[in-house]
Amino acid sequence: MKIKNYLLVGLLVLLGACTCGTKAGNIPYPTEGTVLKDINYSYDSFALDSEATARLQSNYQWLKANPGSNVVVEGHCDERGTNEYNLVLGANRAKAAYEYLKSLGMDANRASTISYGEELPLDPGHNEAAWYKNRRVHFDVQ
């Protein structure tokens, strides 16, 4: 019966180490911002509207109050448009948010930017509501 126990432990170790599609990876899981809110954009645009700037101001306040935290500013797009063009649009969105935070007083070294284009949608739907959610910049607190 000791053999049975070893088999069980072995199985659990395998389960724990199993890399079949689990968390270990070089891209994040798409999640909605909680500590720092996501900001959204109009179609094909990287302009910040008033709701975006308001959220950026509140995100900046949090960063000011938590000087030990850095943030990765992720730019995303909806699925329309080509993959390559959307990678660039995502980068532009991330940069727009980053530059605005800097203009409020954030130290340039506290944040980096990255684009995932249309590759990591928050909502897998194919409708206006899903597309709106996916056209976002997400702030990943480090």
Partner 1 sequence: MRNLLVILLCLLLNINYLYSQTRFEVSGAGRSYPIAIAELCQLNPSDSVAKEVPKIFAKNFDLTGYFNVINPSSYIETPGKCDDESFAYSDWSSIGVEGLIKGKVQSSGSKYKIKLFLHDVGIEKEIFGKEYTVDKQNINKAVYSFGNDVVKHFTGTPGIFGSKIVFSGKVGRFKELYMMNLDGSKLKQLTSDRGLAISASWGYNKKDIVYTSYKNRNPDLFLLNASNLGTKSITNGSALDIGGKFHPSTNQFLLSQTTGKDSDIVTVNSSGKIISSFNKGNGAIDVSPDYSPDGSSIVFCSNRGGGPQIYTMDTYGSNVKRVSYTNSNYCTSPVWSTTGNKLAFVCRANGGFQLFVTNTDGSEPLQLTNSGQNEDPSWSPDGKYLVFSKNFSSSNNSLAIIRADGQNLKRLTKGSSGESDPSWSKIVF
Beta bridge partner(s), residue 138: 74
Q: Which is nearer to partner 1, 66 or 102 (CB)?
A: 102
Q: How far apart are CA 63 and CA 107, in angstroms?
A: 10
User: Edge-to-edge, what's the strand order for the sheet holding 136-141?
Assistant: 39-40, 136-141, 71-76, 111-117
Cβ 57 to partner 1 shortest distance, Å? 21
The string of DSSP letters for 82-133 reads -HHHHHHHHHHHHHHHHHHHHHHT--GGGEEEEEEETSS-S----SHHHHHH
Using the minimum distance from each CB to partner 1, give the nearer residue, 81 or 104: 81
How many other CB atoms are found less than 10 A from the CB of residue 115?
21
Q: Which is nearer to partner 1, 10 or 69 (CB)?
A: 10
Closest CB to partner 1 among residues 5, 50 = 5
Measured from the CB of residue 134, what is the shortest distance to partner 1 in angstroms? Answer: 15
- Residue 43 corresponds to which tokens in the numbers above? 């179609």
Residue 19: alpha-carbon gap to chain centroid: 22
Query: Whole-number minimum distance, CB 61 to partner 1, in Å?
Result: 25
Binding residues (CB under 8 A) for partner 1: these are 3-4, 7-8, 10-11, 14-15, 18-21, 24-27, 29, 46, 81-85, 87-89, 91-92, 95-96, 112-116, 119, 126
Nearer to partner 1, 13 or 58 (CB): 13
The CB-of-2 to partner 1 minimum distance in angstroms stands at: 12
